[in-house]
Structure formats: C-alpha cells, structure tokens
Chains A and B, each alone.
Chain A
Amino acid sequence: QKEVEQNSGPLSVPEGAIASLNCTYSDRVSQSFFWYRQYSGKSPELIMSIYSNGDKEDGRFTAQLNKASQYVSLLIRDSQPSDSATYLCAVRGSGNQFYFGTGTSLTVIP
C-alpha cells in the first residue's frame, strides 16, 4: 500500500501568520500531488495541485514539491479564520489511484 504521511496536528496559528503543512509519500513513481481542504461535515475540495519540482503559487497558497525528498508542503500566507479546516495531502501514482494522508487540522485564531 502506498503511504502518505502528514502531521496530524492540530496546528494553531494566529490570524495573519503563515501556516505550514507538510506531507511525505513513499511511492517514488508518483506523478501528481494535491492539497484538499475539508471543512467539518463537508467533503474535500481541491485547493492546489502540483506536478513539477519547485513552488506553485495561487493567491495566498503556495505548494512546494521536492521529488528527491518525496516531500510536498502547503504554505498559507496571511491566514484567515476561514482557513480553519482539515487539509488533506493526496498523491496520484503511476495508475489512476489517489492516496490520501490522514489530514492536518488547522485552526486560525482571530
């Protein structure tokens, strides 16, 4: 079974700070990497995808990928209370399956 590991948290940051979420994966042939946000009682929604080494920025979100270290991260700048959610790291392997970490719970304190 492919493994995706995340720090379970909970992670608390003050409003306006940078939240840093980390993820490692075991399958070296993984090609695609995703971050999903899940509010309590809701289903996961995609917020970032990244396929190449380096950084990808989208608004306040930056995803970072290092395939050599098998490491993916998500930075949330200027964190807002509305960012409080569980963040799921997902990895798509050589086939069409997606593997998920157990999620990191983030709370942004006003």
Chain B
Amino acid sequence: DVKVTQSSRYLVKRTGEKVFLECVQDMDHENMFWYRQDPGLGLRLIYFSYDVKMKEKGDIPEGYSVSREKKERFSLILESASTNQTSMYLCASSPGGAGMGGANVLTFGAGSRLTVL
C-alpha cells in the first residue's frame, strides 16, 4: 500500500513564525499535492507538483510556498504564519500520467492540524 507520511499531526505556532510541514511518500509517485480543509469550504488545493523541483499554484497559494527537492518529499512552507492559516493541512500523492486507470488515484496522509495563535 502507498504510504503518505506527514511529519506532524498537531502543531501550535505563533503569528509571524515560519512553519514547515513535511510530507513523504514511499511509492515513487510523480504527483504530490497540498490541500487545506476547513469546515464548510471542503478541500482546497494550495500547491501541487508533477516532478522534482517543479511546482504549480493551486486555488489558494497566497501566503504559502512549497519545495520539492526529492521525488518522495514535498514540503509546505508558511513564511509568516497568520491566524487565518489555522486549518487542517492534507498532503496527497498520485502515480501521475494523464491517462485514466485504476492506479491513478489520490492517496492522503493523516493530516496536520495547525493552530496559529
């Protein structure tokens, strides 16, 4: 089974701090994603990556950056945390390729619940 591991389940940070959320997948997936999930708003895509050192903005990239130096690792960075970034952050990966197929599904990590005070 694909395993997507997020480094921290719960974090509490102060406004203005720099925050790193780490995600590692162990199945050689091409694609990795960062979502945030808020009540009533569902899952919103922050950034995604199709390949090493490659990144694309999602729907809500403001206030975030990402890094993908190795294929298995995708990091989300909050340069200066703010209270409106308090949320559940979900990392996910998928095999990649534009075709259909049963293998091309999204697998999530356990999530990181961030509270910014």
User: A-B pairs with CB below 8 Å: how many?
Assistant: 56
Which of A1, A31, A45 meets B108, CB within 8 Å?
A45
Q: Which has the most chain A C-beta neighbours within 10 Å: B40, B43, B109? A: B43
Cβ A102 vs Cβ B41 within 8 A? yes
> Main SS of the interface on chain B?
loop
Total chain A interface residues with beta-carbon distance under 8 A = 25
- The docked-state distance in angstroms from the alpha carbon of A101 to that of B42 is 6
Cβ B45 vs Cβ A97 within 8 A? yes
User: Is B107 engaged at the interface, CB distance under 8 Å to the other chain?
Assistant: yes
Which of B96, B102, B107 meets A96, CB within 8 Å?
B96
A→B interface (CB under 8 Å): 1, 8, 31-32, 34, 42-46, 49, 51, 88, 90, 92, 94-103
Can you list 14 residue pairs at the A/B interface with Cβ under 8 Å? A8-B40, A32-B100, A43-B109, A88-B42, A88-B43, A92-B104, A95-B98, A96-B31, A96-B48, A96-B97, A96-B98, A99-B45, A100-B42, A103-B42
